[in-house]
A = this chain, B = another copy of it.
Amino acid sequence: MLTAGIDVGSVATKVVLLRDHEIYHLVRPTGWSPRDAGLNTFQELLQQTGYQESEVVCKVGTGYGRISLDFIDKAVTEIHCHARGANYLVNGGGLVIDIGGQDSKAILMNDEGKVLDFTMNDKCAAGTGRFLQVMAAALGVDVSQLAELAKDQQPLEINSMCTVFAESEVISLLAKGSNKQEIIAGIHRSVTRRVWGMASRFGAAKQIIFTGGVAKNLDVRNRLAKEAGAPVIAPELGQFAGALGAALYARDLASKELS
């Protein structure tokens, strides 16, 4: 049975085609039209994989743009899809921490991956990928270089949580001649603290499944493990957790209709 999950985020649109244990995936920028982004990315992935649209028995949409998708069978909230996908990638439940380009969220699951509670931030750029982008620009480095530069460095103190005030602090530190790599370590600690400050309300975590663009940053990953005192696993397909969860819901839905 072939099903699809379409996750239209504010920055990127992720699509998963799921057949048994086979996961096909594609990510494209969302751009101005969430509906077009969803449809085009879905069709591009069909083309890449050689499947026909008629072979897809059920399509579930998720993410902030799901309401604009008029070609799907059902829309499911991103929290539920994200947890479902994360628990498929890394079994055993625990805490999902997702740090995306413009938001961050924490989802508490039981051992079976059922959502028990969640919290999210999409109002404040601090503790999101945007914070890292602003700081990287201030430091004149690329976001992709941050992890390597901060590795094993002693973090300098960044006092402000606010992206705007922290940027000024970073510029001051540079002007004072502080070590750039230690500044970056401080920036990573700031993101980690902010996100863990939000997630730690759920208490100690058995394991953390770390997803979203920032999960690719190995230094943030290590600092998060230290801050949380728990193992942090960043699955390869973490970015597709929401789309994968949607495709799994689509499979449930189709199975029910067939039975």
A102 close to chain B: CB less than 8 A: yes
Copies of this chain present in the complex amount to 2
- Residue contact A125 to B164, C-beta cutoff 8 Å: yes
- Residue contact B134 to A102, C-beta cutoff 8 Å: no
* Contact mask for chain A residues 100-141; partner B; CB cutoff 8 A; 1 contact, 0 none: 001000000000000000000001110000100010000000
Q: What is the bound-complex CA distance between A162 and B163, given in angstroms?
A: 9
Question: From A131, which residue of chain B is reached at the shortest CB distance?
Answer: B164
Contacts of A164 in B (CB 8 A): 125, 130, 134, 163-164
A contact residues, total (Cβ < 8 Å): 12
A165 close to chain B: CB less than 8 A: yes
A160 close to chain B: CB less than 8 A: yes
Output the least CB separation between A190 and chain B (Å).
Answer: 13
A45 close to chain B: CB less than 8 A: no
Contacts of A165 in B (CB 8 A): 102, 125, 130
Question: From A102, which residue of chain B is reached at the shortest CB distance?
Answer: B165
A198 close to chain B: CB less than 8 A: no
Contacts of A134 in B (CB 8 A): 164
A143 close to chain B: CB less than 8 A: no
- Residue contact A123 to B160, C-beta cutoff 8 Å: yes
A161 close to chain B: CB less than 8 A: yes
- Residue contact A161 to B123, C-beta cutoff 8 Å: yes
Q: What is the bound-complex CA distance between A134 and B124, given in angstroms?
A: 16
Q: What is the bound-complex CA distance between A162 and B125, given in angstroms?
A: 7
Question: From A130, which residue of chain B is reached at the shortest CB distance?
Answer: B164
Output the least CB separation between A231 and chain B (Å).
Answer: 32
B-binding residues in A (CB < 8 A): 102, 123-125, 130, 134, 160-165
Sorted from nearest, which 5 A-B pairs have the closest CB atoms? Answer: A125-B164, A163-B164, A124-B162, A125-B162, A130-B164
